[in-house]
């Protein structure tokens, strides 16, 4: 029997409904998100438009500040400092990638932790060690929410995280470890990835490599959460399409439940950004 689809859309709508209630309780002024983008990158530009639409839907103010590709690190840091001091700004997000002359980590550390709605400041990443999700990385929160939504028992489950990035793999593993999953993290140096994935009750894949996980690498009945977003060309039509890191056609015949790509983690990631903005506003106004 084909696996049950675990789609992110329904959960995203429920979370947005809750956020609308919380925004109404906050009252005026509306929270404001400011995004910083340097140079021209189609992916960053598309994500920025997605952010703007999502904010508009909930009545959150949105501003995009753009810099030329030649922007200096000093200019970026000065802008961040100004936004940190601006009481009208609730959240700051730095669109990636940044030009090579701007150190990503230095810029991320410069954002005030209470305005870091991307969840990448060391203080917020560190909070995930304690299982706190107030301002955790958005994609990690999306995966965590989907795993809980699945109804699969997390405590005691064999959980394998393929990918160890700072914004997905590591924080996701920590959040689920806090729920007492028996957690294994695979990465580029893992000698035999299949050895680990085949025993996973919960398999999460976030590498960014199409076709990385095939059906024979999945434990029958497992929950599979595919975070990968890869654009590939369809050999039959010649048109490009979005696929995950998991070979869906094979995995759906083995897994018990699986997230589709697109339509799984994606819809929740932007909603978690909105959640972080609302939570940042609540934190700031409670001081």
Residues 81 and 166 in one domain: no
- Identify which of 36, 49, 201, 56 has the alpha carbon closest to the alpha carbon of residue 110: 36
**What's the total number of domains in the chain?**
2
Predicted pLDDT at 27 = 95
Q: What is the CATH number of the domain that holds 44?
A: 3.40.50.10860
pLDDT in tens, 172-189: 999 999 999 999 999 999
Q: Are 199 and 219 in contact (CB under 8 A)?
A: yes
- The band of 107, judged by pLDDT with boundaries at 50, 70 and 90, is very high
Residues 35 and 109 in one domain: yes
Q: Are 197 and 186 in contact (CB under 8 A)?
A: yes
Residues 205 and 236 in one domain: yes
Statement: residue 287 has pLDDT above 80: no
Residue predicted with more confidence, 109 or 43: 109
Predicted pLDDT at 235 = 78
- The band of 43, judged by pLDDT with boundaries at 50, 70 and 90, is confident
Predicted pLDDT at 234 = 79
Residues 98 and 195 in one domain: no
Q: What is the mean pLDDT of the chain?
A: 95
Statement: residue 194 has pLDDT above 90: yes
CA atoms of 28 and 137, how far apart (whole Å) = 26
pLDDT in tens, 211-239: 999 999 999 999 999 999 998 987 778 88
Run of H or E including 286: helix 266-286
Residues 191 and 97 in one domain: no
Does some domain include residue 18? no
Statement: residue 85 has pLDDT above 80: yes
Domain that holds residue 48: 28-113
Predicted pLDDT at 238 = 80
Statement: residue 272 has pLDDT above 80: yes
CA 30 from chain centre, in angstroms, equals 24
pLDDT in tens, 238-250: 888 899 999 999 9
pTM above the 0.75 mark? Answer: yes
Predicted pLDDT at 141 = 96
| DSSP, residue by residue, 105-171 | HHHHHHS-GGGBTTS-SHHHHHHGGGT--TT--HHHHHHHHHHHHHT---TT-EEEEE---TTTHHH
Does some domain include residue 274? no
Q: What is the CATH number of the domain that holds 204?
A: 3.40.50.720
């Amino acid at each position: 029997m084909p696996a049950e689809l675990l789609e992110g859309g329904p959960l995203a709508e429920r979370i947005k409904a809750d956020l609308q209630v919380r925004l109404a309780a906050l009252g005026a002024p509306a929270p404001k998100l400011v995004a910083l983008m340097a140079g021209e990158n189609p992916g960053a530009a598309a994500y920025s438009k997605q952010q703007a639409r999502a904010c508009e839907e909930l009545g959150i103010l949105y501003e995009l500040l753009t810099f030329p590709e030649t922007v200096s690190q000093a200019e970026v840091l000065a802008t961040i400092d100004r936004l940190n001091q601006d009481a009208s700004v609730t959240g700051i997000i730095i669109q990636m990638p940044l030009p090579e002359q701007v150190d990503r980590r230095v810029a991320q550390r410069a954002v005030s932790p209470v305005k870091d709605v991307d969840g990448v400041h060391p203080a917020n990443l560190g909070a995930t060690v304690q299982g706190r999700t107030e301002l955790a990385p958005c994609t990690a929160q999306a995966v965590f929410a989907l795993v809980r939504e699945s109804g699969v028992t997390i405590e005691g489950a064999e959980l394998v995280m393929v990918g160890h990035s700072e914004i997905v793999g590591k924080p996701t593993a920590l959040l689920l470890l806090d729920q007492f999953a028996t957690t294994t993290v695979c990465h580029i140096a893992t000698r035999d990835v299949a050895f680990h994935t085949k025993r996973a009750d919960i398999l999460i894949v976030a590498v960014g490599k199409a076709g990385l996980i095939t059906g024979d690498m999945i434990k029958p009945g497992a929950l599979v959460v595919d975070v990968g977003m890869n654009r590939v060309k369809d050999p039959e039509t010649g048109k490009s399409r979005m696929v995950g890191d998991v070979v869906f056609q094979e995995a759906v015949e083995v897994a018990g439940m699986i997230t589709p790509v697109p339509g799984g983690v994606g819809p929740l990631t932007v909603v978690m950004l909105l959640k972080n903005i609302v939570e940042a506003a609540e934190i700031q106004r409670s001081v």
